[in-house]
Chain A
Amino acid sequence: MMRQEFQSGLDELERQLQDMSDKCARALHDALAALQSHDGASADDVIAFDDEVDHLFISIERGIEELLATQAPVAGDLRLALAILHINLHLERIADQCVNIAKLTKLSEPEGFRPQLVDAFVEMGSRAEQMLRVAMDSFANRDAERAETLTDLDELIDEENKALSRKVIASGSSVEAQEAGLRAMLISRCIERIGDNAVDIGEQTVFLVTGEFREFTDASHPS
């Protein structure tokens, strides 16, 4: 094996990316826990934790930039470098959605959300956590087939998102109910976007394995 230093640099960036994913999973888990326990202090912790995620995001981005500038990777190495760059951005967005959930949790103080909505959030959130895990495992194992299963999981989240919208509409027409409903919709949308980001990560795995980029579902040309 030649170019050992280059290879170890690429391996280290991929390890950092998995670390980034672990941090995102933790942020999502903690954001949902804060939402469930209606705990403003825990929500503050989630918001503060995002600095750590951003720091790692920048470190990975700089690492890829340096690798592209100095090592001029090609073929499979180039695809891996590009996939890491894209996935890093998707993960950073996921962490940002967790911050949004935490901020909306704080806004809902002191009364919080109705238990029925909280249960729906937790259900959706655990689905999103599962999608993130599938996406990153598929990437680590270069498993394009498993990455494609993310679309099925995403459909479940989309359905839950729609079901939650119905609950919000049914929750009443008072100003208070409308405000709470709006926040609930935003939280639901945040979780749904995390699912979309996991699908995007899956698309990067397929690109890495096959060399062809394609969207799993074409939003502009639905079948």
Chain B
Amino acid sequence: MSAIDSDPILTTPMLELSDTVDEVEENAEVVFDIDGLSVSYGDKLALRDVSMKVRKNQVTAFIGPSGCGKSTLIRCLNRMNDGIATLDGTILYHGQDMYEQGIDVTDVRRRIGMVFQRPNPFPKSIYDNVAYGPRVQGMKGDMKERVERTLKHVALWDEVHDRLKASATGLSGGQQQRLCIARAIAVGPEVVLLDEPCSALDPISTAAIEDLITNLKKDYTIVIVTHNMQQAARIADNTAFFSVETGSDGRRSGVLVEFDRTSKMFTKPSDPRTEGYVTGRFG
């Protein structure tokens, strides 16, 4: 063989790429293990046979069209649907059935906080809004320090530290929503559930909340319902896509279509229904 036969310049492409990045390994601790969950409001089946796992210190987003059951599911995660909906299947929280008899619902809601679509601060001072939960829970320790630490945690301290006694209702919408998140985390939950937290906010306030969510996941497990798919793409580690479908029994209900890493859901979803929804070609 001559030098020409083996000359790499003559035989190989010039551009070379390193190996593709490996998939992130899915080994974080499971916080919620949802198995075969169906939820009904009276005769109306809202959600059918959902099974999925929500993992610790990750942001999990629920997306899907109106009526797909995503808000129903997030409300089941801290028993906000008690007395309204009936459930079939199980939701384990750290291996414990959340709906077992004898479970202390107040304790569930302390561990699993919730923030709603519209900012709903109490008509009290900024300070009292944050201190309210810890006081009700009978938490001991330096309340001032707790309030300051919590407001710093939600990146609101610098904006309000000189007017803590002012009414919370005087804050802007974005500030009010961050205050509501502060109120939720002041009692030291493990999980924060966010039901469309930015839908009433302008883009700047939305960006502030998204930054906050990304920072909070270091300390909390976050579940967020959002109508804004790009928001899910920006902040969520995992995304669940729900849709409305007619079952073999002829009843229409929400179903979980696909649940995967967000990067996969928005680049190469496995299910054509997900592809149709995220690319805006559903219907």
**Inter-subunit contact A211/B268 (CB<8 Å):** yes
The interface-forming segment of A48-56, A67-75, A101-109, A122-130 is A67-75
Residues of the A chain whose Cβ atoms lie less than 8 Å from the Cβ of B13: 196, 199-200, 215, 217, 219
Distance of A83 Cα from B217 Cα, bound (Å): 34
Asked if B20 lies at the interface with its beta carbon under 8 angstroms from chain A, I say yes
The listed residue (B2, B8, B233) touching A74 by CB distance below 8 A is B233
Asked if A15 lies at the interface with its beta carbon under 8 angstroms from chain B, I say no
Asked if A166 lies at the interface with its beta carbon under 8 angstroms from chain B, I say yes
**Inter-subunit contact A158/B16 (CB<8 Å):** no
Looking at chain B's contact residues, is the secondary structure mostly helix, strand, loop, or mixed? loop
**Inter-subunit contact B279/A3 (CB<8 Å):** yes
Asked if B41 lies at the interface with its beta carbon under 8 angstroms from chain A, I say no
Asked if A117 lies at the interface with its beta carbon under 8 angstroms from chain B, I say no
0/1 string, B244-277, CB within 8 A of A gives 1: 0000000000000000000000111100001100
0/1 string, B146-170, CB within 8 A of A gives 1: 0000000000000000000000000
Asked if A2 lies at the interface with its beta carbon under 8 angstroms from chain B, I say yes
**Inter-subunit contact A73/B10 (CB<8 Å):** no
The listed residue (A162, A211, A214) touching B267 by CB distance below 8 A is A211
Known: A165-B4, A212-B20, A219-B16. A77 touches B10 (CB 8 A): no
- Considering only residues 168-223 of chain A, those with a C-beta below 8 Å from chain B are 169, 189, 192-193, 196, 199-200, 211-215, 217-220, 222
Q: Closest Cβ of chain A: how far from B88's Cβ, in Å?
A: 33
Known: A161-B10, A166-B2. A6 touches B267 (CB 8 A): no
**Inter-subunit contact B4/A166 (CB<8 Å):** yes
Distance of A155 Cα from B12 Cα, bound (Å): 10
**Inter-subunit contact A1/B267 (CB<8 Å):** no
Asked if A9 lies at the interface with its beta carbon under 8 angstroms from chain B, I say no
Residues of the B chain whose Cβ atoms lie less than 8 Å from the Cβ of A78: 266-267
Distance of A209 Cα from B230 Cα, bound (Å): 23
The closest CB in chain A to the CB of B20 belongs to: A213
Asked if A23 lies at the interface with its beta carbon under 8 angstroms from chain B, I say no
Residues of the A chain whose Cβ atoms lie less than 8 Å from the Cβ of B283: 2
Interface size on A, residues (CB 8 A): 34
Asked if B17 lies at the interface with its beta carbon under 8 angstroms from chain A, I say yes
**Inter-subunit contact B268/A196 (CB<8 Å):** no
0/1 string, B8-51, CB within 8 A of A gives 1: 10111111110010000000000000000000000000000000
**Inter-subunit contact B281/A162 (CB<8 Å):** no
0/1 string, A92-114, CB within 8 A of B gives 1: 00000000000000000000000
Asked if B95 lies at the interface with its beta carbon under 8 angstroms from chain A, I say no
Asked if A79 lies at the interface with its beta carbon under 8 angstroms from chain B, I say yes
- Using CB atoms and an 8 Å cutoff, list the residues of chain B in contact with chain A: 2, 4-5, 7-8, 10-17, 20, 229-230, 233, 266-269, 274-275, 278-283
- Using CB atoms and an 8 Å cutoff, list the residues of chain A in contact with chain B: 1-3, 6, 72-79, 158, 161-162, 165-166, 169, 189, 192-193, 196, 199-200, 211-215, 217-220, 222
Given A166-B2, A196-B14, A219-B12, 9 other A-B residues pairs in contact with their CB atoms under 8 A: A2-B283, A6-B280, A74-B233, A75-B267, A75-B278, A78-B266, A193-B14, A214-B20, A215-B16
Across the A-B interface, the 4 shortest Cβ-Cβ residue pairs:
A211-B268, A219-B12, A74-B266, A196-B13
6 contacts between A and B (CB under 8 A): A1-B281, A2-B282, A74-B233, A78-B266, A217-B13, A219-B8
